[in-house]
Amino acid sequence: MNQHSTSGKASRIFGLFPALALVIGLSAPVAGCGYNDVITLDEGVKANWAEVENQYKRRADLVPNLVSVVKGAGNFEQETLTKVVEARSKVAGLKVDSSTIDDPEKLKKFEAAQGELSGSLSRLLVVAEQYPVLKATDGYRDLQSQLEGTENRIAVARKRYIESVAEYNGLVQRFPTSIGASMRGRAVRPTFEAAPGSDKAPEVKL
């Protein structure tokens, strides 16, 4: 083999080095795929979900006392009270755990049950307007005030959760982070329906 041929092969081999370096350089980020960012947003979603749970639980815990105070008014519309108690029972009967935020069906049931309780509580407050003596009691006014504050916190917690899921879902669908997310079992998450006005708490008149 002459020197010219050997030199040509060597040149071709050395010429491959930049290409190989480029492939290796690209494959390293793809292997990581910004997965630390996925984990960070994943933890953010979980933290915001925990806050959603806490605020809904706070509201559910107010219901028994509210019902008890309203019953004391005498002749209060029984159907309204029954619906509140039943809606609260459905919420309490839900199995809510860490898998809820990854299961569209579970999240849908959770939101439906909470929505039913919201509706029944709103109805109770409207009916209570017809009972001046009830409205004047300190116990009712205190619970009404706590409920108003809780509804505000629920609205804020839901909004933050929806935003965090949207950011997380965007990251796990974009290249190259989608590769790392998929390799580690991270996928798009379901979220609450952001209906018009859902970022505002229901008005509770004092």
**52-77 confidence digits (pLDDT tens):** 999 999 999 999 999 999 988 878 89
Write out the DSSP string of 95-128: ---TTGGG-HHHHHHHHHHHHHHHHHHHHHHHHH
Residues 86, 4 share a domain: no
Residue 200: pLDDT over 90? no
- pLDDT, residue 176, reads 86
Q: For residue 160, what is the domain's CATH number?
A: 1.20.1440.20
- pLDDT, residue 107, reads 96
Number of domains in the chain: 2
Domain range for 28: 1-32
Contacts of 96 (CB under 8 A, 6+ apart): 53, 106, 110
The answer to whether residue 61 is domain-embedded is yes
**78-103 confidence digits (pLDDT tens):** 999 999 999 999 999 999 988 999 99
Residues 66, 8 share a domain: no
Residues 163, 142 share a domain: yes
- Written as one letter, the residue type at 190 is P
Contacts of 29 (CB under 8 A, 6+ apart): 176
Check residues 26 and 143 and name the one with the higher pLDDT: 143
Residues 118, 16 share a domain: no
- pLDDT, residue 1, reads 54
Contacts of 124 (CB under 8 A, 6+ apart): 66, 70, 80, 81, 84
- pLDDT, residue 108, reads 95
Residues 55, 132 share a domain: yes
Contacts of 49 (CB under 8 A, 6+ apart): 100, 101, 161
Contact indicator for 56, 87 with CB cutoff of 8 Å: no
Instruction: For residue 17, name the pLDDT band (cuts at 50, 70, 90).
Output: very low
As a whole number of angstroms, the distance between CA 120 and CA 126 comes to: 10
Residue 31: pLDDT over 80? no
| 34-43, 107-116, 150-159: least confident range | 34-43
Instruction: For residue 113, name the pLDDT band (cuts at 50, 70, 90).
Output: very high
The answer to whether residue 190 is domain-embedded is no
The answer to whether residue 41 is domain-embedded is yes
Instruction: For residue 193, name the pLDDT band (cuts at 50, 70, 90).
Output: confident
Residues 96, 70 share a domain: yes
Residues 104, 14 share a domain: no
Residue 147: pLDDT over 60? yes
Residues 7, 60 share a domain: no
- pLDDT, residue 134, reads 92
Residues 70, 47 share a domain: yes
Note if the pTM is more than 0.75.
Answer: yes
